[in-house]
Amino acid sequence: MRLTTKSRYGTRLILDIAVHGKEKPVPLSDVSSRQNISLKYLEQLTVKLKKAGILKSHRGPFGGHMLSKSPADITIGDVVRILEESTAITDCAEEEKQVCGVCNRAGECLSRWIWVEASRAMFDRLDKITISGLLAIENKEFKKK
């Protein structure tokens, strides 16, 4: 699986809202300007993140978006699962069944185990990286300068 702009931009969106949305909702137009991501694309990502319970919206002239969970409770694994259509690094690793049925080696392919394990390992690591953890790294870097 190659992480798409959905995951990368979605992570930037959430980080921006975490930084700028502590006191008040953050308009997507502000995120778009700061992150140099199109407003239309951010709107698409926001729909999925709201539906999953990561973001909440406020309407009106002072409206925008805020995190609906603590940054400590949002992992990058969560973001990737919500925004990507697949969470496996290959098509054959997507299926839970022993025989995937994706390629002409289905049922006798020893290498499939590699891709299943690699997908698990990636998400094990991504599930340990929280938004608050990333913000703590950023704060350390700025203090060094």
80 close to 144: Cβ distance less than 8 angstroms: no
Q: Does domain 5-142 have CATH number 1.10.10.10?
A: yes
Half-sphere exposure of 41 (CA within 13 A, CB side): 16
Please report the pLDDT score of residue 139 as a whole number: 65
If you average pLDDT over residues 25-31, what whole number do you get? Answer: 97
Which of 57, 63, 13, 4 lies closest to 34, judged by CA? Answer: 13
**Lowest model confidence (mean pLDDT) among 103-107, 109-113, 130-134, 135-139:** 103-107
User: What are the tokens at 54?
Assistant: 């990561």
Residue found by looking up tokens 């805020």 in the block: 66
Can you give the residue ranges of every domain in the chain? 5-142
Please report the pLDDT score of residue 105 as a whole number: 58
55 close to 26: Cβ distance less than 8 angstroms: no
In a 10 Å sphere around its CB, with 0-12 CB exposed, 13-18 middle and 19+ buried, how is residue 80 labelled?
buried
**Lowest model confidence (mean pLDDT) among 21-25, 70-74, 112-116, 123-127:** 112-116
User: What are the tokens at 25?
Assistant: 């909702």
If you average pLDDT over residues 70-77, what whole number do you get? Answer: 97
Instruction: For 76-117, write each residue's pLDDT tens digit.
Output: 999 999 999 777 777 666 655 555 555 655 556 677 778 888
Q: Cα separation of 49 and 16, whole Å?
A: 14
Q: Cα separation of 15 and 29, whole Å?
A: 15
Which of 33, 32, 131 lies closest to 77, judged by CA? Answer: 131
34 close to 52: Cβ distance less than 8 angstroms: no
